[in-house]
Copies of this chain bind each other. A is one copy, B any other.
Amino acid sequence: MAGGGGTRFWPLSRKTAPKQLLNLSGKEIMVNEAIDRLSPVARDGVFIVTNELQKAKMFALLNGRVEAEHILSEPAARNTSACIGYAAMEILKKYGDGVMVVTPSDAYIKDNLKFAEVLKTAVAAAENTGKLVTIGITPTFPATGYGYIQYAEDGGEAKPVKKFVEKPDEKTAKGYLESGDFVWNSGMFVWKASVILEKFKELLPDVYSCLEEIAASFGSADEKEKIKKIYPSITSVSVDYGIMEKCRDILVVPGEFGWNDVGSWDTFGVLHTADNNGNVQIGDTLAIDTKHTTVFSSGKLVAAVGVGNLIIVETDDAVLVCPKDRAQDVKKIVDELKNRGREELL
């Protein structure tokens, strides 16, 4: 899933350069890192769901990792259920059936080997049991920004899910952390394409009938036209809300592999090694008497003196200064730029 248009890494992220196309780690763009870490299990290839705005640029940046006909393009963003259903239909058509691993393309994973182990466990579980399987992240702090999954301990690697819960308040999150049987909902799923489509049919029948109509046009002359017409009318609902929370008999594989959703600039630091003062400096920078600050330069010298817990980012056409604990509010800047008609900066 690589269709997001995230604004929270502005001024680095833009409409035509969303987070998944950014090289935040200094190594590779995020979507390529996601593809490469799937390779131990993605035996028959990788599908990408994105949109028309990003498709051409993404294909170029993929550098041969994914064949052109595996890049699906949504005519409109209709949340994760439509995205996943569309891909499942493609898989059914191309392979008859198969286990699919569904993952966002813009999260960071530190330990790719451990991640591959967890994936293999999940793939085997999905294949052998025919159940929906989700990947849970063993929590390391009482996060209030993620949903949680409670599981029953039965000794197996893929454990029965008791329930999905929404983002908790801090007190509740602390309880979850202490209980030991809650994991973060990573938004990564493993299941047979046929199984998830059965669930769509049962729990999201309207979405399913749209998907069926689209799938009927696959390979025909009017495929593109059909998708363009039908897709935007699909109900916009997340797969968590539309399917997972309403299903029984789901399995979760808990994993510890250094996962971070890198949701905004405040977590940018996890992608890099900080210096002795806790600063992460990228490009031509100079930080004096400065602590726990991210200084990112795309060209000019960026100098800071006497600051702490700040984010300072310079790109070709903009500069951002923001405290780490206000990183969510970078969105406010993007909104205001929209208001002011500054399209060139969006």
Contact = CB atoms under 8 A, between A and B. Distances in A.
Given A303-B333, A332-B305, A333-B303, A289 B326 contact: yes
Contacts of A337: 286, 301
Contacts of A286: 333, 336-337
Given A286-B336, A286-B337, A336-B286, A305 B319 contact: no
Nearest to A335: B288
Interface in A214-273: none
A345 interface: yes
A305 B333 contact: yes
A342 B285 CA distance: 12
B321 A303 contact: yes
A312 B329 CA distance: 18
A256 B181 CA distance: 72
A328 to B, nearest CB: 10
A140 to B, nearest CB: 26
Contacts of A316: 300
B11 A329 contact: no
A315 B303 CA distance: 12
Contact of A304 (B302, B317, B322, B325): B322
Residue from A305, A312, A326 whose CB has the most chain B CB atoms within 10 Å: A305
Given A286-B336, A288-B336, A336-B288, A305 B317 contact: no
Contacts of A303: 11, 318-321, 333
A64 interface: no
B305 A329 contact: yes
Interface in A288-314: 288-289, 297, 300-307, 310, 312, 314
A304 B321 contact: yes
Contact of A301 (B288, B304, B330, B342): B342
Contacts of A11: 301, 303
Given A303-B321, A304-B321, A305-B322, 15 more contacts: A286-B333, A286-B336, A288-B332, A297-B319, A300-B315, A300-B317, A301-B319, A302-B318, A302-B321, A305-B320, A305-B321, A306-B322, A306-B323, A306-B329, A319-B319
26 contacts: A286-B333, A288-B332, A289-B326, A289-B332, A297-B319, A300-B314, A300-B317, A300-B318, A300-B319, A301-B317, A301-B319, A301-B342, A302-B318, A302-B321, A303-B319, A303-B333, A304-B320, A304-B321, A304-B322, A305-B322, A305-B330, A306-B322, A306-B323, A306-B326, A307-B321, A319-B319
